[in-house]
Structure 1
Amino acid sequence: MTRVLAAASTFVALLAFADASPQPERPQRIVSLNLCTDQILLQLVPHERIAALSFLSQDTRSSALSPLARGMHTVRGNAEEVLALQPDLVLVGTYTTRHTNAMLRRFGIPVVAIPGANSFEEVRAEMRAVAKAVGEQARGEELIRQFDARLDQLRASALPNDEVIMQYRSGGYTAGSNTLYDSIYEAAGLINGAKRAGVKGYGVLPMERLIEQRPGIINASDYKPDTPTQGNRMLTHPAIAALGAQSIVLASRDTVCGGIWNLDAAALVRTQSQAP
Structure 2
Amino acid sequence: MKRKHNWTVAGLAVLSSVIWFPLFYMAGQSFMGNWELIQNTGAVLSGTKGRVHFALLPRFPTLSPYVELLLDSPGFFVMFWNSCKQVFPILAGQLLLGMPAAWALGRYRFRGRSFIMLLYMILMIMPFQVTMVSGYLVLKRFQLLDTHLALILPGIFNTFPVFIMTKAFAGIPDSLMEAARIDGAGEFRIFFSIGIPMALPGIISAMVLGFLEYWNVIEQPMTFLKTKSLWPLSLYLPNITSDKINVSFAASIVMMLPAVLLFLWGQKYLEQGIAASGLKE
TM range (shorter): under 0.3
Higher relative contact order (CA 8 A, sep 6+): 2
Task: Give the alignment's TM-score, normalised by structure 2.
Answer: 0.26
Computing the radius of gyration over CA atoms, which structure comes out larger, 1 or 2? 2
More strand by share: 1
Task: Give the alignment's TM-score, normalised by structure 1.
Answer: 0.27
